[in-house]
A = this chain, B = another copy of it.
C-alpha cells in the first residue's frame, strides 16, 4: 500500500506557479489527484529536434507517480525516455461561460499541469502495477476480467514514470466576471454546463450473440466533478 500525504500543499517552482488568473490556482495535492483521477487522456509535451510535440495519451496514477505507456517504437515516447523534460497536462471542460461582453467569455474547467523528467520503468513488478493503473484509469474493472499482458506484449510496451512533485492545478467555476458597466446590457449571461457521458455499449461484432454487458461497463459513470 502506498501512503501519500494528500494534505501536503503543491510546492510551486517558478514554472509551476500559476501566473495568469492566480486566484484560480489550487494548492492542495488532493486537488491535483482529483483532476488527474477524473481523466481518460492527457496531453504529453516533449521537445523533438528543438520543437514542441504535443500528443494525447492515456495514463494512470499510483500515489505520487504518473505512468504513461506506449509502443517501444514511438518517437515521442523514446524522446520522453531520454531523460529530458516533459510536460503532461490533463484538462476537463465543465462549462461554456457566456458573458455580456465577448472579452469576458470563458470556460469553466479543471486543469492539471505536471512538469518533470520521465523515468523508464524497468522493474517487472512496477511495470505490471503501472499497466494495472493505466488499464483501470481507462477501463475500471478490465484488469481483473481481461487477459493480462504476456511476455511478448510486455516487451513491446514502454512504461514511463513521471513524479508528481512539480505540478500546478487551475480551476475555474461559476458565472461570468462581467464588468459593472455591462450588467444592464440586454445580453443573456451564464454558464452552459458541459459533461462527458457514456452512451449505450456497442458489443464487438465477434462476440457471441446475447453476451451480457458486465456491470463495470454498463454502470460506468464518467467525468466526476472536482
Contact = CB atoms under 8 A, between A and B. Distances in A.
B58 A54 contact: no
Contacts of A197: 194-197
A26 interface: no
A30 interface: no
B91 A43 contact: yes
Interface in A178-203: 178, 182-183, 185, 187-203
A129 interface: no
Given A147-B182, A198-B192, A56 B109 contact: yes
A88 B89 CA distance: 13
A71 B20 contact: yes
A9 to B, nearest CB: 22
B220 A192 contact: yes
A105 interface: yes
Nearest to A214: B188
A87 interface: yes
Contacts of A47: 47, 50-52
Contacts of A82: none
Interface residues of A, number: 93
Interface in A76-105: 85-89, 91, 93, 95-96, 98-103, 105
A87 B51 contact: yes
A45 interface: yes
A190 B202 contact: yes
A99 B195 CA distance: 25
A102 B46 contact: no
Given A54-B54, A87-B45, A87-B51, A142 B195 contact: no
Interface of A: 15, 19-20, 40-41, 43-56, 58, 70-71, 73-75, 85-89, 91, 93, 95-96, 98-103, 105, 107, 109, 111, 113, 115, 131, 135, 138-139, 142-143, 145-149, 153, 157, 175-176, 178, 182-183, 185, 187-207, 211-214, 217, 220, 222
12 contacts: A15-B51, A20-B71, A41-B93, A41-B107, A44-B54, A56-B89, A101-B149, A103-B153, A188-B213, A188-B214, A189-B203, A195-B199
